[in-house]
Structure 1
């Protein structure tokens, strides 16, 4: 088969946006023009071409995808979404270590479409991310993975646990060593809560993302740069499919971690005790 249909889909921003719009539901011409913010004279040639190639159907003033158009959009949408993720923050992604994302989730990285790149200013350099507080304090369930250590993490986690938030914490080996050494009492109080669980990833810190934080309403992601440094930049996304993607990433690493029974005591899992 020639690549005519692929070219038709990918090499015109107007045609691509029109097809994605009709993938949601059939629409009138006036509605299409309003949503795409383009003049009628600019859109009509593209509609004519898509009709001729059998990708859209017209019924009076209403337009919809044909069966063939629906199939093609369903296949090409993951590609378009992935491209959008990288294009929106191209400089950030170009310098991140992406090998900490398992392949099955890299294939669906388009689920992170719409992520906002955030970087705390100098006035917040020693604070927890404001978005972590804003989006997480009212949540009923929280997943947190840290492979770097922030001195406010223990107290923040304890406050959440006291509010009966179901919280799961994953630390890298290095960050857990700091947690269990300098914040032993706070760690013990966290583990006293039945709604709190603590895990340690037994691999190397750079094998995992710098930050995964998932609440009921938000996902925060941080990745090391290619030199193995965390630059304090992170991505925020509040879309449902991004939250689901973040939970899957967290669960992937939780399955590769050891649960902590008690901090720096005989009850701690043997594999964890070895490196304390």
Structure 2
């Protein structure tokens, strides 16, 4: 859909946008009713607003056919349900942008496809781990804690750390499944850093698919890892250098789902590597 069409759409629904954005009471009512039908007293207890204000807000929502009443209970209509879900998505998106502003500003986001940027609110429950003056390697340490406690690891890496090879070897020997998508540059550097005596071992684990590696030729400006319990995400500065001072880390299901979708996006662009 082109920009001209979107602007025309906006002109036709701008009053509806004002209706939903101008009243925090109406927004809170719709979000609350998204969980289940409620009585006025239930809404009062949940959102902490007096009954007369809630009733006024409900009447306004009823006029827009977003809420209906059955007995003592208020329900979202079919369109109200859809609108409530979009309001929740907008709130989660804004929280993700606000809480992690240091990560987004002046960082490369073009390596994240638009359909996943559209769902960026899935990351709202993560934590931003940053370097500190007395602990500049804090993000890397947090990352290592995550992967060393995992049973399954998938990741996309356009960056290289010398200790990764030994760490992943130890994990594979301990029965941990590892799947990696590496850029061509990082793959060559990784293979070159392996002791010749270990190349036979690498060939073995690749043939057994204990370790799976895909090579991607295009330039990638996002680094992330998904485990059975956690997801970790890092970005590049706009100047092309990787920002090792900040990582998004967390164990929320939505964030793991989002990261797995990003992994599948890149796996679809990569080729299976066989030594």
Q: Same fold (TM over 0.5)?
A: yes
Indicate the residue corresponding to 1:223 in structure 2. 235
Question: Does the Cα contact within 8 Å between 2:37 and 2:74 map onto a contact in 1?
Answer: yes
After TM superposition, the score normalised by the length of structure 2 is 0.80
Three-state SS of the structure 1 residue aligned to 2:256 is helix
Could you tell me how far apart the structure 2 residues matched to 1:41 and 1:20 are?
19
1:196-220 alpha-carbon deviations (Å, 9 max, x no partner)? 112222123xx331x2100112111
Question: Does the Cα contact within 8 Å between 2:27 and 2:87 map onto a contact in 1?
Answer: no
2:224 to 191, 212, 225: 212
How big is the shift at 1:80? 4.1
After TM superposition, the score normalised by the length of structure 1 is 0.80
Q: Work out the number of aligned pairs and report it.
A: 259
Pick which of 128-137 and 60-69 moved more: 128-137
Could you tell me how far apart the structure 2 residues matched to 1:188 and 1:13 are?
63
Question: Does the Cα contact within 8 Å between 2:129 and 2:139 map onto a contact in 1?
Answer: no
**Shift in CA distance, 159/38, structure 1 to aligned 2, threshold 3 Å:** farther
2:201 to 186, 189, 199: 189
**Shift in CA distance, 116/18, structure 1 to aligned 2, threshold 3 Å:** farther
**Shift in CA distance, 159/29, structure 1 to aligned 2, threshold 3 Å:** farther
1:237 aligns with 2:250: yes
How big is the shift at 1:188? 5.3
Pick which of 31-40 and 18-27 moved more: 31-40
Question: Does the Cα contact within 8 Å between 1:25 and 1:64 map onto a contact in 2?
Answer: yes
Pick which of 52-61 and 215-224 moved more: 52-61
How big is the shift at 1:37? 4.3
Three-state SS of the structure 2 residue aligned to 1:144 is strand
1:27 aligns with 2:38: yes
Indicate the residue corresponding to 1:260 in structure 2. 273
Q: Which runs of 5+ in 1 are unaligned?
A: 263-276
Question: Does the Cα contact within 8 Å between 1:213 and 1:219 map onto a contact in 2?
Answer: yes
